[in-house]
Amino acid sequence: MTKRDPQGLTPLADVDPEVFALIRREEKAESETVRLIASENYASRAVLEATASVLTNKYSEGYPGKRYYEGQKQIDEIEELARARMKTVFGAEHVNVQPYSGSPANLAVYLAFVKPGETIMGLGLPAGGHLTHGWNVSITGKFFNSVPYGVRQDDHRIDMDQVRDLARQHRPKLIWCGTTAYPRTIDFAAFRTIADEVGAILAADIAHIAGLVAGGVHPSPIGIADVVTMTTHKTFRGPRGAAILCKSQHASAIDRAVFPGLQGGPHNATTAAIAVAAGEAQQPSFKEYAARIVENARALGAALEAKGFRLITGGTDNHLLLVDMTPKGIGGKPYARALDRAGIVANYNAIPFDPRKPMDPSGVRLGTPAIASRGMGPAEMERIAAWMAEVAENPQDEARLDRIAGEVKELCQAFPAPGIIL
């Protein structure tokens, strides 16, 4: 029974012990495991505080200075601050910070530039592309004529010859570049040349690599692509949200597509947290963090290869590794499950030209953003690779998996998880 509490000041632990306990358990899990989900991270306490603020109470349809509601003084300043900081971090002419997440941001790009039934191109999902780049189960594959491109058979790199051939043949209105499970650098300039040749809008989706771009360890598409979309919660390490960066000439088309095209009121607490994250991204420590992500991915890849793992494309340029488990004689799904039991969290993932089914594919995807945020380095990557090899050889040995989970927990205690007070 909850007590009378007209001021709503009773702490969560007392109002709802059930939800409170689940969040506490999640905090413990995130603290005590090695998290290798390539899209995940640890937001700072500052970002979490802004996210959990009274800004969640506000409605503010419109943009700073042009709202449909009164009482916007603070909200306008917060959104201006978020936009200004994001412009500085990425060197963009215009920024919209209102999209609810990466997928709605991408829908805004469609709404701004393409009509239903028109042709678009993007990297196919099985090759490492995102659902929203025109894959058939997504609205973007149903409402538009989607022509997916892929990676080469031999080296699993994006096949720019195929991109050019398909673009010449199909004359798309919009070309997406950007990936969700691809371990190599994106050649934005090469995409620009092709887009120019066929008169297409070039959209770069840097959802995964925004933090790497901000930290200067991946080339930036700003000034090359017409429009750039990003999530704010992956390598960028902010709240769950998104931003669209574009040239001034596209500013009003993008803004109108987000509101009133797709959304109502923006999530102002998220906007404030984006401002905080963009402030953090301007600190010298963010550059170090970004460099550590890439250094760790290379170190983890090299250590895994030395233990007989097969890396798609033979390595990585960014924050992630795609591992073909075939030589280890185990599917990606049972392997990811065994890793989880051992305190190492990753996701099973299809590999290019995967002979197995999407729900039971050959690979796992590993990312280093979260462990880089904890401050782990190459020495820790060696230990993680050794555990991963042991799990691959003994996926059913529960006693062994539990022993490893204990060792993982011990390692994690030496590298406290940012943002979590245990």
Ligand X SMILES: *Cc1c(COP(=O)(O)O)cnc(C)c1O
Out of 32, 79, 159, 205, the residue judged to bind ligand X by CB under 6 A: 205
The burial of 307, by beta-carbon neighbours within 10 Å (0-12 exposed, 13-18 middle, 19 or more buried), is given as middle
Is residue 101 part of the contact set for ligand X (CB under 6 A)?
yes
Residue 75 CA, distance from chain mean position: 26
Q: Is the dihedral of CA 321, 324, 327, 330 positive or negative?
A: positive
Is residue 231 part of the contact set for ligand X (CB under 6 A)?
yes
The smaller minimum CB distance to ligand X, of residues 187 and 382, is found at: 187
Is residue 148 part of the contact set for ligand X (CB under 6 A)?
no
Query: What is the SS3 assignment for 97?
Result: coil
CB of 23 to ligand X, least distance (A): 21
DSSP-derived letter for residue 2 is P
Out of 98, 103, 270, 349, the residue judged to bind ligand X by CB under 6 A: 103
**Residue in the shown chain whose Cβ atom is closest to ligand X:** 102
CB of 84 to ligand X, least distance (A): 23
Element (H, E) at 63: strand 62-63
Span 19-48, contacts to ligand X by CB under 6 A: 39
Nearest residue to 89 (alpha-carbon basis) of 257, 346, 281: 281
Q: How far apart are CA 389 and CA 386, in angstroms?
A: 5
Which ranges in 52-176 belong to alpha helices (H)?
A: 73-90, 102-113, 139-142, 160-170
CB of 153 to ligand X, least distance (A): 23
HSE on the CB side for 350, CA within 13 Å? Answer: 16
Catalytic residues, by residue number, are: 59, 61, 205, 231, 234, 240
Nearest residue to 273 (alpha-carbon basis) of 228, 301, 318, 236: 236
The smaller minimum CB distance to ligand X, of residues 231 and 270, is found at: 231
Binding mask 309-338 for ligand X (x = CB under 6 A): ------------------------------
The smaller minimum CB distance to ligand X, of residues 205 and 380, is found at: 205
Contact 241, 232 (CB under 8 A): yes
β-pairing verdict for 145-149 and 94-96: unpaired
CB of 235 to ligand X, least distance (A): 10
Is residue 180 part of the contact set for ligand X (CB under 6 A)?
yes
The smaller minimum CB distance to ligand X, of residues 207 and 275, is found at: 207
CA angle 273-95-370, nearest 5°? 45
Is residue 178 part of the contact set for ligand X (CB under 6 A)?
yes
- Contacts of residue 6, defined as CB under 8 A and 6 or more positions apart, other chains included, come to none
Out of 62, 102, 148, 183, the residue judged to bind ligand X by CB under 6 A: 102
Span 209-228, contacts to ligand X by CB under 6 A: none
50, 150, 323, 419 from 364: Cα distances, Å: 34, 19, 5, 27
The smaller minimum CB distance to ligand X, of residues 98 and 180, is found at: 180
Is residue 96 part of the contact set for ligand X (CB under 6 A)?
no
Is residue 130 part of the contact set for ligand X (CB under 6 A)?
yes
Is residue 185 part of the contact set for ligand X (CB under 6 A)?
no
Is residue 208 part of the contact set for ligand X (CB under 6 A)?
yes
CB of 245 to ligand X, least distance (A): 14
Span 242-281, contacts to ligand X by CB under 6 A: none
Q: Which amino acid is at 315?
A: G
Instruction: List 321's β-bridge partners, or say none.
Output: 366
The smaller minimum CB distance to ligand X, of residues 119 and 229, is found at: 229
Q: Given its phi and psi angles, is residue 259 left (phi above 0), alpha (psi -120 to 50 degrees) or beta?
A: beta
Q: Which amino acid is at 238?
A: G
CB of 296 to ligand X, least distance (A): 19
99-107, 292-300, 337-345, 384-392 -> range binding ligand X (CB under 6 A): 99-107
Q: How many residues bind ligand X (CB under 6 A)?
A: 14
CB of 111 to ligand X, least distance (A): 16
Residue 358: is the preceding peptide bond cis (ω within 30°)? Answer: no
Q: How far apart are CA 255 and CA 244, in angstroms?
A: 9
Is residue 184 part of the contact set for ligand X (CB under 6 A)?
no
CB of 133 to ligand X, least distance (A): 7
Is residue 347 part of the contact set for ligand X (CB under 6 A)?
no
Out of 31, 51, 98, 132, the residue judged to bind ligand X by CB under 6 A: 132
Question: Two tokens at 313?
Answer: 């494309």
**Which residues of the chain form contacts with ligand X (CB under 6 A)?**
39, 101-103, 106, 130, 132, 178-180, 205, 207-208, 231
